[in-house]
Amino acid sequence: MGGGGSTRRVTFEADENENITVVKGVRLSDSVIDRMKEPSSPGGRQHRSSGAVNDEELKKRIAEELALERARRDSEAQKRRLFGKLLERERISSNEHLTRAILRERAATEEERQKAQRF
């Protein structure tokens, strides 16, 4: 994260010890969280007039981010399920068409064989 104009989005969730954990597997220590709660440096920009992050607001933001992330994952899972069902229907339909075509060819071949025997 840091400088360099990074646009990476970080999502947090609370673990069983009420510590903050980055979903992608990077753990933030209590000291890092405390520094995040401290007022910005004089040269830095401040997000609030007090400059500090309230624990309740932080928990609320984390909960909102988690809810959004869960909703996104649920939506993606639903899309994958629907896409899977669509692919399965296409596969079944293709197999049916192929089976019919094979049967027509066999019938035509048998008909040609019988004509050839008659002559």
Residue 31 lies in a domain: no
pTM: 0.42
Residue 87 lies in a domain: yes
Structure confidence by residue, pLDDT tens digits, 83-116: 999 999 999 999 999 999 999 999 999 999 999 9
The count of domains in the chain is 1
Residue 34 lies in a domain: no
Residue 82 lies in a domain: yes
Residue 8 lies in a domain: no
Q: Please provide the average confidence, as pLDDT, over all residues in the chain.
A: 78
Structure confidence by residue, pLDDT tens digits, 20-69: 554 555 566 787 777 777 776 555 444 444 545 688 888 888 989 999 99
CA–CA dist 16, 14 (Å, integer): 7
Residue 10 lies in a domain: no
Q: How far is CA 52 from CA 20, 77, 84, 90, in A?
A: 17, 37, 47, 56
Q: Which of 18 and 55 is assigned the larger pLDDT?
A: 55
Q: Which of 93 and 13 is assigned the larger pLDDT?
A: 93
